[in-house]
């Protein structure tokens, strides 16, 4: 009898212990869930209340910090319109042209774009004073102008934030003063990651974003600035291959004086992509950028 009683006692004790442990665990889970819910609500209140209609949140918390010297310069070098990104457009190609304007190539590029009713983006350098008619035509025909710096001198512009801003501001101001055009986007000479700016690029990006400007790299390239000046068939093949590898593409080309084969390739590129169902558009601050990243 004593043995049976002992067995029953231990069975009940084990059952009681298990139930107690389960109860404690249940209470702990409930308490944890309540805390997580409360924390999530606080985060949403802090960061989600300023989200745009497309779900793009804006910072809700600002941290006061002492301004760096270059941040006090160029008080007009700001984009004042609020920033909102639109939903990315699938199967869209953004044709971009760097290093212009040039009397040799830019008018021909504009003629082709007009023929096919396509808008594109021109990242200009400091040659606008001797090509005023061309710049005005870019504006009048509805294309976007971006800043590619005034001198395009890697050695100079990437010395410091001061040299970069001074060079950028010189072209930006000239565009505004001569054409009443406020450029809002830019492209780094050599792209946002290169051997000249790798120690400075993140600082430039932060400062230019603070001022409201957006930068664009690319994911398809003509490689037409390479030595040897590839012929038009090679350029077309490179661009088409690049576009086919992405859902949307920002295409790098050049319209400086020596880029005649790029002009020759342009109709073939446009016609082939149109036949494949691609649409064309120009860049602005609402377009989600394609940007480079450091290799790890």
User: In this structure, are 233 and 263 located in the same domain?
Assistant: yes
To which residue do tokens 């002009």 refer? Answer: 263
**Phi-psi bin for 212: left (phi > 0), alpha (psi -120 to 50), beta?**
left
**Spatial CB neighbours of 178, under 8 Å, sequence gap ≥ 6:** 128, 129, 132, 135
- Domain assignment of residue 290, yes or no: no
106 falls in which pLDDT band (50, 70, 90)?
very high
- Domain assignment of residue 148, yes or no: yes
* Number of residues in the chain: 296
Max CA pair span of the chain = 113
Q: Are 268 and 192 in contact (CB under 8 A)?
A: no
Picking from 185, 178, 174, 183, the residue whose alpha carbon sits closest to that of residue 133 is 178
Provide the pLDDT for residue 55: 35
User: In this structure, are 37 and 95 located in the same domain?
Assistant: no
Q: Which residues are catalytic?
A: 98, 254
Q: Are 177 and 212 in contact (CB under 8 A)?
A: no
Whether residue 10 has pLDDT greater than 80:
no
Whether residue 117 has pLDDT greater than 60:
yes
- Domain assignment of residue 78, yes or no: no
Structure tokens belonging to residue 268: 């073939």
Provide the pLDDT for residue 83: 81
Separation of first and last alpha carbons in the chain: 74
User: In this structure, are 131 and 242 located in the same domain?
Assistant: yes
pLDDT in tens, 121-139: 999 999 999 999 999 999 9
- Domain assignment of residue 96, yes or no: yes
pLDDT in tens, 150-170: 999 999 999 999 999 999 999
Least confident of 11-25, 38-52, 98-112: 38-52
98 alpha-carbon distance from chain centroid: 16
User: In this structure, are 61 and 145 located in the same domain?
Assistant: no
Domain that holds residue 189: 87-281
The pTM of this model reads 0.78
Report how far apart, in Å, the C-alpha atoms of 237 and of each of 106, 226, 240 are.
22, 15, 5
pLDDT in tens, 261-285: 999 999 999 999 999 999 999 999 9
- Domain assignment of residue 120, yes or no: yes
**Number of independent structural domains in the chain:** 2
User: In this structure, are 127 and 225 located in the same domain?
Assistant: yes
User: In this structure, are 202 and 55 located in the same domain?
Assistant: no
User: In this structure, are 153 and 44 located in the same domain?
Assistant: no
- Domain assignment of residue 136, yes or no: yes
User: In this structure, are 119 and 187 located in the same domain?
Assistant: yes
Partnered with residue 281 across adjacent β-strands are 94
Partnered with residue 147 across adjacent β-strands are 124, 186
Provide the pLDDT for residue 84: 84
Residue % of the chain over a pLDDT of 90: 71
User: In this structure, are 132 and 277 located in the same domain?
Assistant: yes
H helices within 116-231, ranges in order?
Answer: 132-140, 154-157, 161-179, 201-210
User: In this structure, are 149 and 244 located in the same domain?
Assistant: yes
DSSP state of 128: -
Whether residue 89 has pLDDT greater than 70:
yes
According to DSSP, the β-strands at 220-221 and 214-215 are: unpaired
Provide the pLDDT for residue 154: 97
- Domain assignment of residue 294, yes or no: no
CATH, residue 122? 3.20.20.370
User: In this structure, are 109 and 10 located in the same domain?
Assistant: no
């Amino acid at each position: 009898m004593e043995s049976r009683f002992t067995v029953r006692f231990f069975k009940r004790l084990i059952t009681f212990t298990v139930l107690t442990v389960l109860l404690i665990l249940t209470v702990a889970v409930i308490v944890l869930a309540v805390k997580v819910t409360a924390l999530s609500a606080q985060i949403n209140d802090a960061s989600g209340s300023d989200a745009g209609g497309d779900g793009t949140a804006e910072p809700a918390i600002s941290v006061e910090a002492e301004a760096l010297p270059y941040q006090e310069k160029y008080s007009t070098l700001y984009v004042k319109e609020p920033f909102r990104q639109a939903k990315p457009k699938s199967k869209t190609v953004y044709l971009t042209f760097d290093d212009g304007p040039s009397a040799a190539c830019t008018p021909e590029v504009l003629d082709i774009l007009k023929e096919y009713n396509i808008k594109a983006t021109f990242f200009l350098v400091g040659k606008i004073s001797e090509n005023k008619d061309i710049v005005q035509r870019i504006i009048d025909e509805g294309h976007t102008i971006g800043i590619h710096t005034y001198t395009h001198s890697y050695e100079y512009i990437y010395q410091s934030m001061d040299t970069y801003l001074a060079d950028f501001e010189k072209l930006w101001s000239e565009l505004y003063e001569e054409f009443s055009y406020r450029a809002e986007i830019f492209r780094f000479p050599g792209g946002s990651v290169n051997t000249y700016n790798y120690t400075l690029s993140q600082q430039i990006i932060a400062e230019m974003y603070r001022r409201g400007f957006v930068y664009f790299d690319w994911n398809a390239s003509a490689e037409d600035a390479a030595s040897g000046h590839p012929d038009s068939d090679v350029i077309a093949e490179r661009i088409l291959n690049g576009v086919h590898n992405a859902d949307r593409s920002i295409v790098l080309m050049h319209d400086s004086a020596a880029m005649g084969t790029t002009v020759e390739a342009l109709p073939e590129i446009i016609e082939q992509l149109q036949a494949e169902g691609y649409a064309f558009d120009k860049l602005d601050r609402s377009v989600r950028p394609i940007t480079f990243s450091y290799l790890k």
